[in-house]
Amino acid sequence: MQGTQFLWDIATWNQGLDDLREVDALAVLGTGDYYGNSNGASDGVLPSTSASLLFTPSTDERPRIVPYCHTLSGFLSCYNSTPIAKVDSESHLTSRIIRSFLADTGDRKTVGTTPSRDPYLAKLGGVHLAFEDALHNFVADIDEVRYKTADGTFT
């Protein structure tokens, strides 16, 4: 479930990385649609693994995952789904999450799920990375990338 050049450009337009200038932020992700053959891996617009979560101080503290679609659409699985941003009542999950966040209460932690409990993000969530040369051209020919995992080993 790869991101796209468009998503990379949107996420990094400001400083070359997606840190939101270290502001306290919140993410609400939807999993109300299919991505490929995977049910619940998309909000109907992009795969949940493309949602930017690494800007948060704790990857399980701020992001909340709800069973909604991005918008009502012609996709069969999203046609009758609740849109993430169409908040029409206080019981709407997005409303509950945002009101709790703004009031600085812990109630939002009981709404939806977290990336570590999501069947796709717990295993497939990742980091977008790119290499640029001195002229800021993207390097497209990369044979191998190694990274250090949380337990200190290299993959």
Strand partners, 66: 30
Instruction: Classify residue 124 by its DSSP letter.
Output: H
**Confidence grade of residue 153 (pLDDT, cut at 50, 70, 90):** confident
This prediction's pTM: 0.65
pLDDT score recorded for residue 111: 94
Which among 99, 122, 129 has a CA at the least distance from the CA of 49?
A: 122
Which among 87, 88, 2, 79 has a CA at the least distance from the CA of 33?
A: 79
Cα(63)–Cα(52) distance, integer angstroms: 9
**Average pLDDT across the chain, whole number:** 75
Instruction: Classify residue 51 by its DSSP letter.
Output: S
Q: Which residue has the higher pLDDT, 96 or 78?
A: 96
**What tens digit of pLDDT does each residue of 133-144 get?**
778 787 777 777
The 3-state secondary structure of 13-38, one letter per residue: CCCCCCCHHHCCCCEEEECCEEECCE
Which runs of consecutive H residues, i.e. helices, occur in 104-138? 121-124
- Whether 2 shows a pLDDT value over 50: the answer reads no
Q: What share of the chain is helix, strand, coil (3-state, %, to 5)?
A: 25, 15, 60
Cα(78)–Cα(20) distance, integer angstroms: 30
**What tens digit of pLDDT does each residue of 43-77 get?**
777 767 666 555 544 567 778 889 888 877 655 56
pLDDT score recorded for residue 129: 63
- Whether 108 shows a pLDDT value over 80: the answer reads yes
